Amino acid sequence: MSGTELWRAPIESLAPRIADGQIDSVELFDCYAERIARLDGRLGAYVALSGLARKTAETARDEIRAGRYRGPLHGIPIAVKDNYTTSDMPTRAGQVAVKNEYPMVDGAAVARLRAAGAVLIGKTRMHEFAWGMETPPARNPWDEARTPGGSSGGSGVAMAAGLAAGALGSDTGGSIRIPASLCGCVGFKPTFGLIGRSGIIPHSWSLDTAGPLTSSVRDAALIASVMSGPDIADPGATGQILSLGTDVVNAGVDGMTIGLCRNHFFEALDEDVALSVEKRIEGLAAAGARIVEFSLPELACGLGAIFAIELASSTSYHALRLRDGRSEAMAPDVRLLVEMGRLVSAADYLHAERYRRTLCQRMAQVFSEVDIVLTPTSPLTAWPTGQSEVMLAGRRESALAASWRFTYPWNLIGAPAISLPCGKDRRGLPIGLQLVAAPQDDITALRCAAIVEAQLGGSALKIG
């Protein structure tokens, strides 16, 4: 691979070449910087670039040459979603009309990346305050008239177009996995609390989860492992560290039990999505996995529950902004949602939390019988930007409701879920496959995803 095509390589292949001196971190940084300068004016993945990034790459190069190699992220350019606070770049959480109002300090996850030697290249565009599924004006590299998804859309665009080696996102109801699915990359939502959230602008305290978007499953596991660990400023942090072993990449699925919930996750699907996912199920069965089907009628009430929790949480966070009239600066769609949270009563919220507990108990029973739940990530591929409704299985549905129908249940129970590309539709748009394991069992989700990725001959679907 020539130096100008380093952007095509996943971190897992770049890291050893940097470590042994075949390439250096400045050469790698310059490759991404050239692509950003050439492509991002059109694609809109970034809202800010770090003025210190190249200097950081130079420092990494010098440290590695001096024998002070810190590990596989040393010298690797990583993009950061605009709701993570950083010491060298402003944080606006997707706001356009408001200047930086957050401290310029590194949050826990960002600090761990810096300590590992990563080069934080820039801040990626997001849907304002992590609401919404379009991330305007970012464009999907596979079809620039279509949405990249949200709210971590800029990170999805950066990965699909080769504008970073890895990117950070946040996931409250699917905001990592949806852009990963629509843009053709890997998106990993770890167990709730595995990665500390101090320094991440809140959306919903009991749902928000930090995680990476990457070119491969191993890259996702690597970045998540570096960011995992204690965070005394986040009461929701588990303090656990994601320890990677050879089983993540080498173990097979022979003897693994994979569950399919046909009554929710396989209803009202785009035909191409259904065919692609069924092909992957067949592949796993052929590799020795046992496929079982189960039903979750409880999911019929799930969307209302998570929506009530999100609305109430977001409105609580923005209470002062609403009181002082500063919500008028918000985009109309976001302002409407933030103000709608005032209509969620205490009884509504408690009913939603009771439902959530019931779903957790029900899913604990499921995971006592299966190792993995497999679903499509999204029932459809990227839809035209600005289109508020989509047609699925002959019925009209809200694009917002459709896009997170298969992702939000796993936020409610705090389970690890990973999306990876599993093909393309007839228009050449990426299709995502979602694999979910029981809470705290992130390794099983990554292990199964690595097997699917190997069957597909690699995951990343990057635009040249």
Measured CA to CA, the distance from residue 287 to residue 451 in angstroms comes to 9
Give the pLDDT of residue 99: 72
211 CB-near residues (< 8 Å, 6+ apart): 168, 169, 170, 171, 176, 187, 188, 189, 190, 195, 220, 224
- Per-residue pLDDT tens for 30-76? 999 999 999 999 999 999 999 999 999 999 999 999 999 999 999 99
Give the pLDDT of residue 255: 85
Which is catalytic among the residues 25, 50, 81, 225? 81
175 is catalytic: yes
Residue 217's pLDDT band, with cuts at 50, 70 and 90, is very high
- Per-residue pLDDT tens for 19-28? 999 999 999 9
244 token code pair? 């990677």
Measured CA to CA, the distance from residue 9 to residue 362 in angstroms comes to 41
- Per-residue pLDDT tens for 114-161? 999 999 999 999 999 999 888 999 999 999 999 999 999 999 999 999
Q: What is the mean pLDDT of residues 304-314?
A: 95
Which is catalytic among the residues 25, 50, 123, 151? 151
Flag the least confident range among 83-87, 117-121, 447-451.
447-451
Instruction: Please give the backbone phi and psi of residue 340, each rounded to the nearest 5 degrees, phi first.
Output: -60, -30
Which is catalytic among the residues 175, 228, 276, 313? 175
Instruction: Say yes or no to pLDDT of 1 above 60.
Output: no
Which residues does residue 376 pair with via DSSP β-bridges, in sequence order? 433
Q: What is the mean pLDDT of the chain?
A: 94
2 is catalytic: no
Give the pLDDT of residue 171: 98
151 is catalytic: yes
- Cβ 445 vs Cβ 437: under 8 Å: yes
Task: Tell me which residue of 225, 228, 193 sits closest to 207, measured CA to CA.
Answer: 193
Residue 254's pLDDT band, with cuts at 50, 70 and 90, is confident
Instruction: Say yes or no to pLDDT of 365 above 90.
Output: yes
Query: Where is pLDDT greater, at 18 or 248?
Result: 18
149 CB-near residues (< 8 Å, 6+ apart): 133, 134, 135, 140, 156, 178, 179, 180, 181, 182, 183, 378, 382, 403
Q: Where are the alpha helices (DSSP H) in 241-296?
A: 247-250, 262-265, 271-286
- Per-residue pLDDT tens for 312-356? 999 999 998 888 888 888 888 899 999 999 999 999 999 999 999
CATH of domain 1-463: 3.90.1300.10
Residue ranges per structural domain of the chain: 1-463
According to DSSP, residue 247 is labeled H
* Per-residue exposure over 262-274, b if at least 16 CB sit within 10 Å of its own CB, e if not: eebbbebbbebbb
453 three-state secondary structure? helix
Measured CA to CA, the distance from residue 311 to residue 101 in angstroms comes to 22
